A and B are shown apart, each in its own frame.
Chain A
Amino acid sequence: MSAPATYDAADGARRLQRVAELLAEAVTPQQVLDAILNDGVRAAEAHAGAIGVLGEDGKTIELLAQRGYDPQVMSGWVTFPLDAELPMSEVLRTGEPVFIASIAERNRLYPTLSHLGQEGHALAVLPLAVEGAVFGGLSLSFDRDLEFEPERRALKMAFARQAAQALARSRLYAAEQAQRKRMTFLAEASELLASSLDYNRTLARLAQLCVPGLADWCAIDMLGPDGEIERLAVAHEDPEKVRWAYELQERYPPDPDAPRGVANVLRTGVAEFLPTIPQELLDEALGDDEELRQIVEELGLTSSIAVPLNARGHTLGALSLVTADTHPPFTQADFELALELARRAAVAVENARLYREAQRGANAAQALAYVADGVVLLDPEGVVRYWNPAAEAIAGVSEEDAIGRPVAEVVPAWATLTSHVPLVAPGSPARPVTVPLVHAGQERWISVSGVEFARGRRVYALQDVTEEHALEKARSDFVATASHELRTPLAAVYGAVRTLRREDLDLSEDERGQFLEMIESEATRLARIVDQILLAGQLDADAVELEVTECDPVEIATRVLESARTHAPATVDLRLDADGAPRISCDEHKLRQVLVNLVDNAVKYSPGGGLIELRVHNGDATCVIEVVDEGLGIPPAERERIFEKFYRLDPQQTHGVGGSGLGLYICRELVERMEGQLSVESEPGKGSRFRVELPAR
């Protein structure tokens, strides 16, 4: 190609205009580079061009792209120092273009380039600057020597300015795109992290999200409670590789004390970033294991990031990202993204843990608020730290008045209450002790158990067992009473037999008759007491069967009275008052049992004798049978309780009249099973009136 003698500035301007249009259309850095190096270089009548930019460190120049040069030669110029004695370095340092007319001049000005030989011609290196800031250089090589006239220089500079602007714009665009991609990724990740409180699953999904967009490999490892490394997730686009990675992990379990990598990050909480993985590091890690070396080489790992999941000063785990065959090595921006991602993941994990703890706390508080047992927590100084509503109810002290105060002040009887309560170690079976507690003049029985834990802290469980205690007492009283009731007739039977067999006594016929009669009647009495105990048991088990027939209540009452007269004391006057009562449907035997019991009671509680009347009359569609006496009567407070099982009137109040404590319980149960009602009216000292009301037929 021959050069025109004079430079056609107008033609140059036209060509430049066309390049400017192409540059304006280019969007991505690659499109811009293509426009500059293909169309631009041709328009500038150059045969080769190259673009270098200042590296991130500000000390090196990276060759971004070139066209037309010998790749062999250019492979030595991937990066070179800013302070080198080279035209591009000089342009970036000074911001001024360098125009070199010939190789001879080049070699003169830049002796370091003289080894490249005498081939070549003119050379222009132009600064790429935006708003006065130089960020790179554009070198143009020509296939002839050139004197760079002012117009030519001006045009080349104009081309460089347009190229710089287009390049800067596209790089900004690319950076913005990358940033947007990161932001989108972060937003997606954040959404994912906030989506669930099951952070194990969330983190596994996060790892999945990282590949292949952010890295080729992603792994998440958590620190176990005992400092062990627990691999939570491994992600790779290829599930086969993931399986393989897990196998690898099993065969080569991580060493928690390893000086580098995940173990180190988990230990120190400090991130690691390897933009390139140095071979010596791999050698060090692989040692002599040829198989492993082969595996790792096959993986083709290029760069890695390991960032800790730190929250509240603790390292919870680590996020590892690795580039291999497909993803370009990590940049500082990737590292920063990873840090941000880890920060957000850590917050999410911590929040989930806190939430879970809070939830657990809330559940525990709810359980403690509603449990029927009083729960009291004391610190080593005996100050109340927790006091639940049941404890309020049992001790009669509100939570407000209890918390923060010594328990001895809150409940003055506390020391007495708990003095016999053994404090067991956590996990040991509780050893509750039942003790009486008097508050507001009422005695309550409290089952107290205590556990001591965490250096002198004590938790007590209080259970109000007043009712159980009363029942238990009634039960043991019943046993005592029943045994008493059995002992007396037994004494009579045994004594009569012993006496009858006495050989040294000559008993008269009359006396023998009396003893035999005694044996008979006392044995009958024994049988009746035993029957009552059995019947009460059957009523409890709901195993009493009724034989309901139609019967005449007056007839039943008459027979009950006849039988009662035979053994009632002479001081008692037994009478029947019946006026045309209706017939009823009932179990005749059971009704008789009820009436016998009521009449016997009337006799028993009339120690001074008097009138006992059995009244049978018409009610409101009912038959009413009443047993009325003039005996001791029943104090008002006892009137309902006498129907309770095992309940007996206070011997002090009844002057020692014994009974099994079952008679009235059985009566009421039987009457109610016959769809009737049994009630009592009484005036102490004047007598009682027991009223059986049964539906008329």
Chain B
Amino acid sequence: MSNPIRSAPLRRSRTVGGRRLWHCEARASAPGPSSRGHASRGLGAAGARRVLVADDERAIRLLCRVNLSASGMDVLEAENGQNALEVAKRERPDLVLLDVMMPDVDGWAVARELGEDERTREIPIVFLTARADSADKRMGQQLGGVGYLVKPFDPVAIGDFVEGVIERVERGEREQLTRGITASGDR
């Protein structure tokens, strides 16, 4: 897996509608023009990518929201595990960025439950956590994660990273991504 903390080639973008999105996290589609490089990703009519950010830290949610929106993605948010499960099941996002240590239901439990549910089984999960142990990475792998980002991470690159993961999953490379979590030199 490539190191996500790197500068991605920035796309020309504006913050149109981004703010609104923060407050209607569960809404299915983002209002306003969605002209920020969508064409270049070949999404076209399929609409913007919808990413659920589940983290109890407001700061982390804010970072993800602003930067993913800048990449033209619609961002859904959850501030704890229980909330994450509800939103994921209801909205079935294109990807979940999932923190591990959250009050109530932790990230592992969220991933387990999503993996056990027919409706959510296919949603790719990328763990975004401060837990850097290899044992934790193995746990993420076992739970079927397709990516494992260790904090601190580069939020500027998060959009490209998420897009890359989604595309590879679409190409049927889910298993390689999962295996890649514990690849050497990975962090």
Residues of chain A touching chain B, judged by Cβ–Cβ distance below 8 Å, are: 480, 483-485, 487-496, 498-499, 502-508, 511, 514-515, 518, 521-522, 607, 651, 654-658
B9 to A, closest residue via Cβ: A504
Which of the residues B11, B66, B70, B101 comes within 8 Å of A656, measured between beta carbons? B101
Given contacts A504-B70, A607-B80, contact A492 B15 (CB under 8 A): no
A503 to B, closest residue via Cβ: B10
Is B117 engaged at the interface, CB distance under 8 Å to the other chain? no
Complex A-B: 9 CB contacts under 8 Å: A484-B130, A484-B131, A487-B132, A494-B152, A506-B15, A514-B62, A651-B106, A655-B106, A657-B103
Apart from the given pairs A496-B63, A655-B104, 18 other A-B contacts in the complex at a CB distance below 8 Å:
A483-B132, A484-B101, A488-B57, A488-B60, A488-B151, A490-B152, A492-B63, A494-B154, A495-B153, A502-B156, A504-B70, A505-B70, A514-B62, A655-B103, A656-B100, A656-B101, A656-B104, A657-B103
CA distance A662 to B12 in the complex (A): 46
Complex interface residues of chain B between 13 and 58 (CB less than 8 A to chain A): 13-15, 19, 57
A492 lies within 8 A of B132 (CB):
no
Given contacts A607-B103, A655-B103, contact A495 B155 (CB under 8 A): yes
Chain A residues whose C-beta falls within 8 Å of the C-beta of B15 in the assembled complex: 505-508, 511
CA distance A480 to B101 in the complex (A): 13
A491 lies within 8 A of B11 (CB):
no
Chain A residues whose C-beta falls within 8 Å of the C-beta of B118 in the assembled complex: none
Chain A residues whose C-beta falls within 8 Å of the C-beta of B182 in the assembled complex: none
* A-B pairs with lowest CB-CB distance, top 4: A491-B151, A492-B59, A487-B130, A491-B152
B13 lies within 8 A of A504 (CB):
yes
B60 lies within 8 A of A495 (CB):
yes
A490 to B, closest residue via Cβ: B152
Is B133 engaged at the interface, CB distance under 8 Å to the other chain? yes
B15 to A, closest residue via Cβ: A506
Least distance between A643 CB and chain B CB atoms (Å) = 22
Is B67 engaged at the interface, CB distance under 8 Å to the other chain? yes
B106 lies within 8 A of A488 (CB):
no
A492 lies within 8 A of B130 (CB):
no
B154 lies within 8 A of A506 (CB):
no
* Interface residues of A, dominant DSSP: helix
Complex interface residues of chain B between 144 and 164 (CB less than 8 A to chain A): 150-156
Is B169 engaged at the interface, CB distance under 8 Å to the other chain? no
A488 lies within 8 A of B130 (CB):
yes
B150 lies within 8 A of A499 (CB):
no
A487 lies within 8 A of B10 (CB):
no
A-B contact count (CB 8 A): 104
A608 to B, closest residue via Cβ: B104
B100 to A, closest residue via Cβ: A656
Chain A residues whose C-beta falls within 8 Å of the C-beta of B106 in the assembled complex: 651, 655-656
Chain A residues whose C-beta falls within 8 Å of the C-beta of B14 in the assembled complex: 506
A499 lies within 8 A of B104 (CB):
no
CA distance A499 to B69 in the complex (A): 12
Least distance between B101 CB and chain A CB atoms (Å) = 4
Is B143 engaged at the interface, CB distance under 8 Å to the other chain? no
Is B1 engaged at the interface, CB distance under 8 Å to the other chain? no
Chain A residues whose C-beta falls within 8 Å of the C-beta of B102 in the assembled complex: 655-656
Least distance between A209 CB and chain B CB atoms (Å) = 79
B133 lies within 8 A of A492 (CB):
no
Least distance between B149 CB and chain A CB atoms (Å) = 10
Chain A residues whose C-beta falls within 8 Å of the C-beta of B81 in the assembled complex: 656
Given contacts A483-B132, A607-B80, A655-B105, contact A504 B10 (CB under 8 A): yes
Per-position 1/0 for B94-138, Cβ under 8 A of A: 000000111111110000000000000000000000111100000
CA distance A655 to B59 in the complex (A): 20
B60 lies within 8 A of A492 (CB):
yes
Chain B residues whose C-beta falls within 8 Å of the C-beta of A495 in the assembled complex: 59-60, 63, 152-155
Chain B residues whose C-beta falls within 8 Å of the C-beta of A656 in the assembled complex: 81, 100-104, 106-107
Chain A residues whose C-beta falls within 8 Å of the C-beta of B156 in the assembled complex: 498-499, 502
B70 to A, closest residue via Cβ: A505
CA distance A503 to B14 in the complex (A): 10
A492 lies within 8 A of B10 (CB):
no
B156 to A, closest residue via Cβ: A498
Chain A residues whose C-beta falls within 8 Å of the C-beta of B100 in the assembled complex: 656
CA distance A518 to B66 in the complex (A): 14
Least distance between A185 CB and chain B CB atoms (Å) = 84
Least distance between B54 CB and chain A CB atoms (Å) = 12
Chain B residues whose C-beta falls within 8 Å of the C-beta of A504 in the assembled complex: 10-13, 70
Chain A residues whose C-beta falls within 8 Å of the C-beta of B12 in the assembled complex: 504
A651 lies within 8 A of B80 (CB):
no
A658 to B, closest residue via Cβ: B101
CA distance A656 to B150 in the complex (A): 17
CA distance A496 to B15 in the complex (A): 16
B10 lies within 8 A of A502 (CB):
yes
CA distance A485 to B132 in the complex (A): 12
Residue from A484, A490, A651, A658 with most neighbouring chain B CB atoms (10 Å): A484
CA distance A505 to B11 in the complex (A): 9
Least distance between B181 CB and chain A CB atoms (Å) = 18
B154 lies within 8 A of A498 (CB):
yes
Chain B residues whose C-beta falls within 8 Å of the C-beta of A499 in the assembled complex: 63, 66-67, 155-156
Least distance between A540 CB and chain B CB atoms (Å) = 25
Residue from A488, A502, A503, A506 with most neighbouring chain B CB atoms (10 Å): A488
Least distance between A325 CB and chain B CB atoms (Å) = 93
Least distance between B63 CB and chain A CB atoms (Å) = 4
Which of the residues A487, A493, A505, A607 comes within 8 Å of B13, measured between beta carbons? A505
B57 lies within 8 A of A492 (CB):
yes
Chain B residues whose C-beta falls within 8 Å of the C-beta of A494 in the assembled complex: 152, 154
Chain B residues whose C-beta falls within 8 Å of the C-beta of A485 in the assembled complex: 130
CA distance A505 to B36 in the complex (A): 11
B66 lies within 8 A of A491 (CB):
no
Given contacts A487-B130, A505-B66, contact A498 B104 (CB under 8 A): no
B150 lies within 8 A of A487 (CB):
yes
CA distance A521 to B58 in the complex (A): 12
Least distance between A42 CB and chain B CB atoms (Å) = 124
CA distance A604 to B12 in the complex (A): 41
CA distance A507 to B154 in the complex (A): 18
Chain A residues whose C-beta falls within 8 Å of the C-beta of B59 in the assembled complex: 489, 491-492, 495-496, 518, 521-522
B151 lies within 8 A of A490 (CB):
yes
A494 to B, closest residue via Cβ: B152
Which of the residues A480, A491, A508, A607 comes within 8 Å of B133, measured between beta carbons? A480
CA distance A657 to B104 in the complex (A): 9
B70 lies within 8 A of A502 (CB):
yes
Given contacts A504-B11, A607-B80, A656-B106, contact A487 B152 (CB under 8 A): yes
CA distance A130 to B130 in the complex (A): 119
Least distance between A501 CB and chain B CB atoms (Å) = 8
Given contacts A495-B153, A505-B13, contact A518 B62 (CB under 8 A): yes
Least distance between A26 CB and chain B CB atoms (Å) = 110
B149 to A, closest residue via Cβ: A491
